[in-house]
């Protein structure tokens, strides 16, 4: 019998309807039995005759010019079928978000004359066996000239930093601005009104998705020339469209089959393995498998971005926050991937679930010489929530106000204008705070228990 958390129907009673047959009931998950009995079929469970394998020779430098690439020894390894360089990639430069018009194409499938992070792919080796592919990749010889590397987001933004990106800036440019901006009210006037000012810094290190099943695919050439891609992607058409653009082939040449994912968490939306596997399959006319090793998954696949966040708050003695200024830096690593989008998502989330009349935010998508970061569960929000909710706790303590009452005083409600100028509706922050307080026996005074999200806030400055 599945364990189920109780639903408290006392809240929002008038808005809830009932009378459903299967909605609201615990139907067993369709994949549960397969998972616990080991019968679920993942892409790697498919076997194909003559399956070939792809392995990658990766950059040994954080930032370097490539002076030479010698593949002669790799080609001589018994079992190696083909050595692939950027010259074999029809449209080598891409960015996954070009599907929604994001420019420029800032990342090569295989490096050309420079590398921007340690682990960047330079050469792909296709071989009869995994061992031969590993051996071939190890025998590739690359000559480098090391270039100065940038590892800190604020250093990267400084005018003195070496420019690592071809576009000319170490940050993504949002319609002419160096950051995704939020401008709401007048933040300086808010600080002037405030009784107290609090300013602190928060940061995080990169985090891996750590799926049980690493990122991978098997590509199988068909008799009619089409390629079937068996993959654990989180987004079938997104993968298909990006892959076809890189292959410079008609979209109808590709067929993506997936739907079973051994852990995604945002780590399988980057389209990292399918293009090279397709090129290898087309060049050798054999089924090809390209799957990350655990080490590649940990150190080369996109992590959750490290972030650095400065929050400056202006607060009245009664607990009302009247101004919040946030400087947020997302460490995108060497290439854009989904980071320009995630940084905008962060901006839309600010200043958190609170109604603050004056908000100012600059959210920077910054490039550094490390593994490109990208989407991960809570994209743009998880680290911001850590910063905002730590800030709320510190201010409550500094003002000697109960931490839940401090949140309730500032909680957003229906009809409030958010900082990105969308009117709030369907809010329920007040109610989850009230209910959590009850869960742990945290007493709230009557006037705080009487608050409601659907009642407009009164007399907020």
Positions 61 through 120 that interact with other proteins (CB under 8 A): 62, 97, 99-101, 118
8-state DSSP, 96: G
Determine contact, residues 379/307, Cβ cutoff 8 Å. no
Instruction: State which of positions 119-148 bind other proteins (CB under 8 A).
Output: none
Residue 106 or 431 with smaller CB distance to other proteins: 431
Question: Does 171 contact other proteins by CB under 8 A?
Answer: no
- Out of 176, 224, 446, 447, the only residue in the binding site for other proteins (CB under 8 A) is 176
240/276 with CB nearer other proteins: 240
Cβ density class 86-95: b for 16+ within 10 Å, e for less = bebbeebbbb
Residue 43 and residue 260 in contact, taking contact as beta carbons nearer than 8 Å: yes
Q: Which is nearer to other proteins, 75 or 298 (CB)?
A: 298
Asked if residues 373 and 206 have their Cβ atoms less than 8 Å apart, the reply is: yes
- By CB under 8 A, is residue 433 in contact with other proteins? yes
Q: Is 26 in the site for other proteins (CB under 8 A)?
A: yes
Of residues 79 and 448, the one with the C-beta less far from other proteins: 448
Q: What is the DSSP letter of 336?
A: -
Sole binder of other proteins in the list 52, 122, 133, 153 (CB under 8 A): 153
Name which position in 124, 331, 339, 409 contacts other proteins (CB under 8 A): 331
73 vs 381, beta carbon nearer other proteins: 381
Residue 292 near other proteins by CB under 8 A: no
Residue 373: how many CB atoms within 10 A of its CB? Answer: 26
DSSP, res 372: P
Q: Is 377 in the site for other proteins (CB under 8 A)?
A: yes
Residue 151 contacts other proteins per CB under 8 A: yes
Which span sits near other proteins by CB under 8 A: 52-60, 123-131, 216-224, 340-348? Answer: 340-348
Tokens of 411: 């909680």
- The H or E element spanning position 101 is none
Smallest distance from other proteins to CB 201, Å = 6
Given the complex with other proteins, which of 22 and 459 has the nearer CB atom?
22
Residue of 106, 107, 416, 431 interacting with other proteins (CB under 8 A): 431
Strands 359-367 and 321-333: parallel
Question: Of the listed pieces 69-77, 134-142, 174-182, 190-198, which binds other proteins according to CB under 8 A?
Answer: 174-182
**Residue range at the interface with other proteins (CB under 8 A); choices 64-72, 233-241, 284-292, 315-323:** 233-241
What x-and-dash track marks residues 248-287 binding other proteins by CB under 8 A? ------xxxxxxxxxxxxx--x------------------
Tell me how far apart the alpha carbons of residues 346 and 304 are, in angstroms, rounded to a whole number. Answer: 13
User: What minimum distance in Å lies between the beta carbon of 386 and other proteins?
Assistant: 5
Binding of other proteins at residue 200 (CB under 8 A)?
Answer: yes
Residue 172 in the binding site for other proteins (CB under 8 A): no
- Phi/psi for 328 (5° steps) reads -120, 130
The span from the CA of 36 to the CA of 34, in Å, is 6
Q: Which is nearer to other proteins, 85 or 382 (CB)?
A: 382
- Taking the complex as a whole, how short is the minimal distance between the CB of residue 175 and other proteins, in angstroms? 4
Closest CA to 127 of 72, 77, 59, 88: 77
Crossing angle of helices 236-247 and 274-284, in 10° steps, is 50
Smallest distance from other proteins to CB 336, Å: 14
Residue 251, C-beta contacts closer than 8 angstroms, at least 6 positions apart: 240, 241, 244
247 makes contact with other proteins (CB under 8 A) = no
Least distance to other proteins, CB of residue 196, Å:
17
Q: DSSP characters for 16-58?
A: -----SSTTS-PPPTTHHHHHHT----GGG---TT-EEEEEEE
- Give bridge partners of residue 325 from the DSSP assignment: 312, 360
Residue 114 or 349: the one with the smaller Cβ distance to other proteins is 349
Q: Does 291 bind other proteins (CB under 8 A)?
A: no
- DSSP string for 109-131: SS-SSEESSTT-EEEEEEESSHH
Is the separation of the CB atoms in 174 and 180 below 8 Å? yes
- Neighbouring CB atoms inside 10 A of 369's CB total 24
Decide whether 20 or 87 has the Cβ nearer to other proteins: 20
């Amino acid at each position: 019998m599945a364990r189920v958390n109780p639903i408290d129907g006392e809240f929002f009673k008038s808005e809830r309807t009932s009378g459903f047959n299967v909605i609201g009931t615990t139907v067993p998950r369709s994949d549960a039995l397969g998972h616990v009995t080991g019968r679920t079929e993942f892409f790697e469970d498919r076997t194909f005759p003559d399956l070939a394998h792809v392995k990658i020779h990766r950059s040994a430098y954080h930032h370097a010019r490539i002076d030479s690439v010698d593949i002669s020894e790799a080609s001589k390894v018994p079992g190696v079928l083909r050595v692939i360089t950027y010259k074999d990639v029809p449209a080598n430069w891409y960015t996954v978000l070009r599907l929604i018009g994001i420019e420029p194409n800032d990342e090569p499938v295989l490096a050309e004359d420079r590398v921007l992070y340690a682990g960047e792919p330079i050469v792909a080796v296709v071989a009869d066996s995994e061992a031969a592919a590993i051996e071939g990749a190890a025998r590739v010889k690359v000559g480098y000239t090391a270039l100065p590397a940038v590892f800190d987001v604020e250093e990267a933004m400084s005018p003195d930093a070496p420019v690592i990106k071809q576009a000319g800036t170490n940050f993504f440019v949002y319609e002419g601005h160096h950051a995704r901006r939020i401008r709401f009210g007048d933040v300086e006037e808010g600080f002037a009104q405030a009784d107290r000012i609090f300013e602190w810094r928060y940061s995080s290190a990169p985090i891996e998705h750590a799926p049980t099943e690493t990122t991978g695919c098997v590509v199988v050439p068909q008799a009619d020339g089409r390629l079937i891609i068996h993959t654990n992607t989180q987004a079938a058409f997104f993968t298909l469209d990006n892959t076809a653009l890189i292959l410079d082939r008609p979209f109808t040449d590709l067929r993506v089959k997936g739907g079973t994912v051994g852990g995604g968490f945002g780590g399988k939306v980057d389209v990292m393995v399918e293009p090279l596997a397709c090129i290898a399959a087309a060049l050798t006319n054999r089924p090809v498998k390209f799957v990350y090793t655990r080490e590649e998954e940990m150190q080369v696949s996109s992590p959750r971005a490290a972030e650095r966040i400065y929050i400056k708050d202006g607060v009245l003695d009664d607990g009302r926050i009247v101004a919040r200024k946030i400087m947020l830096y997302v460490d995108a690593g060497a290439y854009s991937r989904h980071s320009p989008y995630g940084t905008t998502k962060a901006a839309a989330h600010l200043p958190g679930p609170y109604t603050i009349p004056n908000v100012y935010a600059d959210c920077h998508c910054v490039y550094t010489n490390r593994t490109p970061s990208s989407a991960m569960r809570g994209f743009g929000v998880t680290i911001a929530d850590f910063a905002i909710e730590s800030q709320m706790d510190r201010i409550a303590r500094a003002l000697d106000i109960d931490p839940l009452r401090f949140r309730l005083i500032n909680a957003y409600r229906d009809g409030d204008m958010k900082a990105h100028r969308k009117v709030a509706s369907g809010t329920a922050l007040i109610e989850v705070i009230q209910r959590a307080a009850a869960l742990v026996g945290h007493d709230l005074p009557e006037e705080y228990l009487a608050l409601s999200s659907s009642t407009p806030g009164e007399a907020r400055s």
